[in-house]
Amino acid sequence: MLDELQKRKSDLREKSEEHKEKRNELNTQASTLAAKRNELNKRTKELIEEAQELKTLRDSNNESVGENKGLRDELNEKANKIYAQIDRIRKDLNLSTGPSLKEMRREIDTLEFKQQTQVMKSNAERELVDKIAHLTEEFKTRKAQLEGNQELKDLLEEAQKLRDEASVYHEKVKEFADAAQEYHEKMIVTFKEADKVRADSDKVHKDFVKVQETADEQHGLFITTQKEIRDFDKVLIGLKRKGKKSKDSAFKIQAKKDAEDIYSQFKLGEKISTEDLLALQRSGLL
């Protein structure tokens, strides 16, 4: 029975070591996954902060677009009012027929804006450029007709000055709008990258949780086997003590019997040795 218990205990020790090694291996894997997850989370945070900075720059440029557009439109409105005044004077003086300078200027502006902002085939763009050139030349001719009148000349100069100022703000509108669009596109790309990295982090975290749970299971089995080993130790120690007591008891019985034989010989007058005397003393017969 003792041998069988010893074998069971040995088997438990092997299982305990297996659970311990597996637990340690899994804990190492979990640590690696946790480090990777934390690195991905850090990268996600950095990307989101970068995207937020791009968003701030985009919004700032859009605000500048609005401010400069407002100033441009205000100047254009003032110029249009002067052109309307010029057209009234022109009609009163019967200087020319056809579209007004205001209408011509507006059409030229519309066509120029189309040329600047739309992608066209080379033939279509060439036709558009020719049309703009033709209208501009006609505008200059009409304007020259009106400049013979001093009042009209002064109004035309004032209107042109306003138009030139408006053009400066229009260029700023384009500049800020292009920058805002660039920041917006970069922001979208960065947010998408952050979403991808976050998804990778979530996957790694799930793997981490799974491995950690398995490591905890192995640790629980290790603790259980360790307890079982301690229980076996208690049983084995008890059995060994019991066996020792039994052995000591049998030895005492035999020693007493030997002492009684020596004492009987002593009473009969037979000579006994020093060793025999010590045996009698240990037995309590002397």
| Residue 237 CA: distances (Å) to CA of 229, 240, 241, 251 | 12, 5, 6, 21
Q: HSE-up of 186 (CA within 13 Å, CB side)?
A: 17
At 29, list the tokens.
């894997």
pLDDT score of 147: 66
pLDDT tens digit sequence for 72-113: 999 999 999 998 888 888 777 666 556 777 778 888 888 888
CB burial of 83-122 (b: ≥16 within 10 Å; e: otherwise) equals bebbbeebeeeeeeeebbbbebbeebbebbeeeeeeeeee
Q: Please, what is the average pLDDT of the chain?
A: 82
Query: What are the structural domain ranges in the chain?
Result: 37-203
Whether the model clears a pTM of 0.85, i.e. scores above it, the answer is no
pLDDT tens for each residue of 125-145 = 888 888 888 888 888 877 776
Confidence of residue 203 (pLDDT cuts 50, 70, 90): very high
Q: Which is more confident, 188 or 120?
A: 188
The kind and range of the H/E element at 118 are: none
